[in-house]
């Protein structure tokens, strides 16, 4: 068994280069299947989810090679079939992008039900609605489902709820569909825009990505290109929050500061001094941590994926904070773990009420998903004693070298496994 041990670590200091975005990279790797020629992707993070999607790709005949870290060459010319391993599909969220990416070429795709972080209920009804409106037919089996379409046809789709996954999947399907597809009430997330930019660079005709109306004119051929994935705004946000909880100063480099706008404003409201340049953001603790209200919402709202790390910081605020998540209403597994560390949090009707100012103490805790894991690392940095975090495989789905990155800022943090001597990590 492996776990992460964190010792109290105050005043983190330094700079972190932010890797490419997990959520974008997953979409781009699937999108590469639409091309008729090899493409090169730069900035692809080395994380578990990418390894699984690459394995799936290889199993269907996609040739994926890499000469340098982050650089991935994808040759889609020899894809043989579109039967995606149901077991592997269920170990991460976005195997469904293979539907959008392969349906036009193969006429039939089979795929397992989506996995990923478990927030009780993550429906895919908007994917089904959009693809059905474009002419696809779904058949559901116990462990997998099949999607068939002799010819996808463009149409106007109004999403009942704003979803980045269904927006990206529909855009992928529309790229090689006949005629024009219009996506209304579309997600405006940077990962949607990134996918559209990559597709356009291959020759797709997509306009409006980044707004709530996206138009896609179907094309019959997509060419080779080299494209760099956007930086991971969610990793960047978590490191900025780490400055607040440790009373330190942390710079995130190679970021697009505009993608962090809601996070920057929230941290300023809480009391941090935040400075943004062309491609960096620095968060500097002023020693003040004010309580606040957070309503996690779809982009450009405060990201649900930063709600958990921010909650760790709010346990140290002066006063009572209120956190609601309008995207995943039950995304509070981390709160129960924080309570084991001494935090005073009550969850009522999908809202977390956090009484700040409690002294956290190290405990055995479990990361139930990626961001819960990062939340617990942050809490561990502020806690007395040693915090032992199990569920490391969840964290590794989304974070590259998380232990090395925090160590480089001065954190007392280490991987442990059952063979290690049970020496606690040092206290700062
Ligand atoms: C791999 C990936 O990119 N994951 C991100 C993606 O997940 P994912 O793409 O799954 O999230 P969505 O943007 O689709 O979900 C947004 C909201 O729409 C709902 N919904 C979604 C699809 C659907 O068919 N029906 C439906 O009702 C969801 O339950 C949720 O309430 O966006 C989430 C919201 O920013 C992030 O937390 C995840 O990190
Ligand atoms: C929810 C997340 O990921 P996924 O959608 O892949 O489960 C996340 O990255 O926080």
Instruction: Give the residue-averaged pLDDT of 5-26.
Output: 97
pLDDT at 426: 55
Could you tell me the maximum CA-CA distance found in the chain, to the nearest angstrom?
64
SS3 356: coil
Beta strands 137-140; 320-325: pairing state:
unpaired
Q: How many angstroms separate the CA atoms of 264 and 260, rounded? A: 6
393-415 per-position pLDDT tens digit:
999 999 989 999 999 999 999 99
138-192 per-position pLDDT tens digit:
999 999 999 999 999 999 999 999 999 999 999 999 999 999 999 999 999 999 9
For domain 2-19+231-417, the question of CATH label 3.60.130.10 is answered with no
The crossing angle, in degrees rounded to 10, of helices 97-106 and 22-31 is 10
Q: How many residues does the structure list for the chain?
A: 428
C-alpha 217 chain-centroid distance: 28
For this complex, say whether ipTM is above 0.90. yes
Structure-token pair, residue 132? 């059905």
Q: How many angstroms separate the CA atoms of 63 and 58, rounded? A: 6
Q: Which ligand is nearest the CA of 371, by number?
A: 2
Among 88-97, 276-285, 339-348, the range scoring the smallest mean pLDDT is: 88-97
Instruction: Give the residue-averaged pLDDT of 2-12.
Output: 97
Topology match between the domains 2-19+231-417 and 22-228:
yes
pLDDT at 82: 96
pLDDT at 425 exceeding the cut of 70: no
Q: Exposure string (b/e) for 249-268, b if CB count within 10 Å is 16 or more?
A: bbbbebbbbebbebbbebbe
pLDDT at 418: 82
The residue whose C-alpha atom lies closest to atom 4 belonging to ligand 1 is 23
Cα-based distances in Å from 80 to 62, 72, 76: 8, 20, 10
Q: How many C-beta atoms surround the C-beta of residue 26 within 10 A? A: 28
CATH superfamily of 22-228: Enolpyruvate transferase domain (3.65.10.10)
**Choice from 164, 169, 299, 370 to test ligand 1 binding pocket (greatest atom count within 8 A of CB):** 164
Q: How many angstroms separate the CA atoms of 153 and 146, rounded? A: 18
φ, ψ (nearest 5 deg) of residue 147: -130, 130
By the 8 A CB rule, do 110 and 82 touch?
yes
The residue whose C-alpha atom lies closest to atom 23 belonging to ligand 1 is 124
Q: What is the Å distance from ligand 1's center to 426 Cα? A: 39
Measured from the CA of 115, which atom of ligand 2 is nearest? 7
pLDDT at 118: 74
pLDDT at 298 exceeding the cut of 70: yes
The residue annotated as part of the active site, out of 75, 85, 117, 194, is 117
Report domain extents, the chain. 2-19+231-417, 22-228
Ligand 1 binding pocket, CB closer than 6 Å: 23, 26, 93-94, 122-127, 161, 163-166, 187, 304-305, 327-328
Measured from the CA of 93, which atom of ligand 2 is nearest? 6
Q: Which ligand is nearest the CA of 28, by number?
A: 1
Measured from the CA of 299, which atom of ligand 1 is nearest? 35
Per-residue pLDDT band for 423 (boundaries 50, 70, 90) equals: low
pLDDT at 427 exceeding the cut of 80: no
Q: How many angstroms separate the CA atoms of 159 and 183, rounded? A: 7
Instruction: Give the residue-averaged pLDDT of 79-101.
Output: 93
Which letter does DSSP use for residue 389 in this model? Answer: E
The residue whose C-alpha atom lies closest to atom 10 belonging to ligand 2 is 305
**Choice from 120, 305, 310 to test ligand 2 binding pocket (greatest atom count within 8 A of CB):** 305
User: Catalytic annotation on 85?
Assistant: no
Q: What is the DSSP string of 327-347?
A: SSTT--HHHHHHHHTT-EEEE
Q: What is the Å distance from ligand 2's center to 89 Cα? A: 14
**Choice from 21, 53, 116, 302 to test ligand 2 binding pocket (greatest atom count within 8 A of CB):** 116
Cα-based distances in Å from 229 to 70, 192, 280, 340, 360: 10, 12, 17, 38, 37
Q: Long-range contacts for 161-164 (Cβ within 8 Å, ≥24 apart)?
A: 161/126, 161/185, 162/186, 162/187, 162/188, 162/212, 162/298, 163/126, 163/187, 164/23, 164/189, 164/191, 164/192, 164/298, 164/299
SS3 31: helix
pLDDT at 37 exceeding the cut of 80: yes
Q: Which of 255, 285, 248, 253 is nearest to 267 (CA)?
A: 285
Share of the chain above pLDDT 90, in %: 93
What value does the mean pLDDT of the chain take? Answer: 95
């Amino acid at each position: 068994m492996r776990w992460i041990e964190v010792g109290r670590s105050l005043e983190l200091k330094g700079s972190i280069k932010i890797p490419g975005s997990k959520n974008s990279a997953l979409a781009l790797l699937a999108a590469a299947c639409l091309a008729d020629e090899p493409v090169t992707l730069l900035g692809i993070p080395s994380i578990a989810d990418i390894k699984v999607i690459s394995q799936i790709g290889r199993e269907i005949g996609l040739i994926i090679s890499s000469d340098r870290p982050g650089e991935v060459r994808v040759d889609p010319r020899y894809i043989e079939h579109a039967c995606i391993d149901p077991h592997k599909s269920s170990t991460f969220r976005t195997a469904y992008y293979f539907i959008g990416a392969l349906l036009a070429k193969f006429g039939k795709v089979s795929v397992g039900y989506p996995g990923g972080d478990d927030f009780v209920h993550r429906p895919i009804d908007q994917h089904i609605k959009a693809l059905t409106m474009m002419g696809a037919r779904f058949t559901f089996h116990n462990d997998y489902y099949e999607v068939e379409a002799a010819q996808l046809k463009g149409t106007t789709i109004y999403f009942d709820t704003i979803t980045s996954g269904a927006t990206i999947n529909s855009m992928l399907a529309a790229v090689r569909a006949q005629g024009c597809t219009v996506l209304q009430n579309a997600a405006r997330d940077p990962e949607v825009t990134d996918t559209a930019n990559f597709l356009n660079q291959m020759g797709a005709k997509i306009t409006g990505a980044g707004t709530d109306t996206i138009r896609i004119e179907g094309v019959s051929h997509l060419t080779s290109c080299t494209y760099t994935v956007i930086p991971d705004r969610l990793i960047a946000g978590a490191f900025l929050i780490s400055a607040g909880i440790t009373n330190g100063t942390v710079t995130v480099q190679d970021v697009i500061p505009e993608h962090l706008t809601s996070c920057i404003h929230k941290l300023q409201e809480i009391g941090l001094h935040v400075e943004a340049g062309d491609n960096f953001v620095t968060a500097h603790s002023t020693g003040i941590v004010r309580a606040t209200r957070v309503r996690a919402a779809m982009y450009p709202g405060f990201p649900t994926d930063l709600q958990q790390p921010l909650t760790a910081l709010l346990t140290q605020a002066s006063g009572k904070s209120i956190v609601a998540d309008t995207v995943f209403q039950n995304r509070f597994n981390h709160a129960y773990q924080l309570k084991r560390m001494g935090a005073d949090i009550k969850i009522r009707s999908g809202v977390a009420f956090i009484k700040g100012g409690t002294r956290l103490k190290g405990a055995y805790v479990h990361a139930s998903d990626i961001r819960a894991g990062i939340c617990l690392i942050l809490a561990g940095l502020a806690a007395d004693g040693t915090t032992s975090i199990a569920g490391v495989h969840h964290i590794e789905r989304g974070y590259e070298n998380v232990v090395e990155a925090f160590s480089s800022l001065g954190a007392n943090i280490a991987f442990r496994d059952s063979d290690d001597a049970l020496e606690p990590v040092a206290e700062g």
